Structure 1
Amino acid sequence: MTDRRQRKSRAALQQALITLVAAKPYDAITVEDITEYADVARATFYAHVKDKPALLLEVSQQLVAELTERAQAVAAPEPPVYTGGAVFTIFDQAARHRALYRLVISGEGGSVARTELVAAFERLTGAVLTRMVAAPAHEPRVPMDVITTAYVGAILLTLERWLGEHPDADSTDPGSRQVATDFLRSQVGGLEWSLGYQPGEARFERA
């Protein structure tokens, strides 16, 4: 019973931070705000986390766990067709947690939370690109770590620009699926060359 209560309190604190981040600037959120929204005592907060950045890190780790699970459930690409399933998953999650993604990507909530999310992007991207090279066998024209870094950097900047221009889903927002599709179409040519494919050999088909 104690463990169940502890899990419930921790989940309430995490959800409180997610909700508050969407309502006010991160720097303006206090521990009192979080505990009041979560309906727990201040002592309960400190029994679970050291401070607000530590709670944000937990929330970011939950994002990463969910992202990894969802991305792994997406059908793997069948080279030379690139479906971009992991990218669609990233942009969909960002659409559902706009304020939190803006906070984490910007680094405003601390470098550790951002590093966790970027590392997850790199793992997912690296796994997909490695498959694109291995089956059928190709010799990359650029080191794989450089390709992965460049691709993840493009994802981050695209996310940051999109979420900055559309902090809320409204009539002007093209939507995560369209933004992801446009992004993937813009990248496939560069990936084709850098992964060792011949011109016209690789193609993007939306999943």
Structure 2
Amino acid sequence: MAVAANQDRRVRRTCRILHEALISLVLEKGYERITVQDILDRADVGRSTFYAHFRDKEALLVAGFDTMRDELRRDLDAMRPGVQPADPTSPAAAVFGHAYRNRRVYRAMCGKRGGNVVRRHLHGVIGGMLREHLRPHLAAAGSDLPVDVVAEFCTAAMLGLLVWWVDQDFPHGPAELASMYRRLAAPGVLAALGHGS
């Protein structure tokens, strides 16, 4: 049992070191210019160790997004009040709060150095979370708008604002940015729920 725990700890440590190396390199060179060898050199990890865990640099990137998705879900779940229905725009507060707490990572993912592959994966994380969050709201309201359309509208707006925020070096606090997003996006979401004209 202790051997398995030590192996798990080593695997987590190796994955963390590789992910940190990837983030540092994205900030320095941009995602597109990084090679697996660059990551190995920065992390001081052997090629066979890397390939025991990841097939390529995109698989390493995706693993980081899996961690991010889990953290965002926990943040969103913690924001939901027990008896009150959740605010359909509340994922913005979770995303912006997470981004602010992890500014270095988001500079690498959303900033100018991240590239299209990184943004595509981030879009997938945010879009999936929003679809999951909005589905019960739309169903309860009997909305005739498909959840995918409403989620895509909200995802594009949130991701656009997030990228702008990162590129401007976080000029507003996360709560303030979430409030601005809510003011801009809520009319569309409320209309989808049948509460607007």
Shorter-chain TM-score range: 0.7 to 0.9
Preserved contact between residue 18 and residue 100 of structure 1 (Cα < 8 Å): yes
Return the letter of the residue paired with 2:155: V
Preserved contact between residue 67 and residue 90 of structure 1 (Cα < 8 Å): yes
Residue 117 (structure 1) aligns with: 122
* Aligned-partner Cα distance in 1 for 2:187–2:164: 22
**1:154 has 2:154 as partner:** no
1:196 Cα deviation from its structure 2 partner: 0.7
Residue 26 (structure 2) aligns with: 21
Q: How does 1:148-187 map to 2 (within 5 A)?
A: 148-164=151-167, 166=168, 168-169=169-170, 173-187=171-185
- What TM-score comes out, normalization by structure 2 length? 0.77
What count of residue pairs does the alignment treat as equivalent? 188
**1:46 has 2:51 as partner:** yes
* Aligned-partner Cα distance in 1 for 2:111–2:55: 20
Structure number with the higher helix fraction is 2
Return the letter of the residue paired with 1:192: L
Identity over aligned residues, as a percent? Answer: 30
* Aligned-partner Cα distance in 1 for 2:11–2:156: 38
Question: SS in structure 2 opposite 1:22?
Answer: helix
Mark the runs of 5 or more structure 2 residues left unpaired by the alignment. 1-5
* Aligned-partner Cα distance in 2 for 1:184–1:177: 10
* Aligned-partner Cα distance in 1 for 2:195–2:61: 41
Q: How does 1:4-15 map to 2 (within 5 A)?
A: 4-15=9-20
Residue 203 (structure 1) aligns with: none
- Aligned Cα root-mean-square deviation (Å): 3.0
Would the alpha carbon gap of residues 116 and 28 (structure 1) be closer, same or farther in structure 2, given more than 3 Å must change?
A: closer
Mark the runs of 5 or more structure 1 residues left unpaired by the alignment. 200-207
* Aligned-partner Cα distance in 2 for 1:32–1:124: 33
1:159 Cα deviation from its structure 2 partner: 1.6
1:59 Cα deviation from its structure 2 partner: 1.6
Residue 78 (structure 1) aligns with: 84
Residue 3 (structure 2) aligns with: none
* Aligned-partner Cα distance in 2 for 1:106–1:38: 19
Deviations 1:37-86 (A, max 9, x none): 3232233223322222221122222222222222222224834x737432
Of 147-156 and 91-100, deviating more is 91-100
* Aligned-partner Cα distance in 2 for 1:33–1:162: 29
- What TM-score comes out, normalization by structure 1 length? 0.73
* Aligned-partner Cα distance in 2 for 1:12–1:117: 21
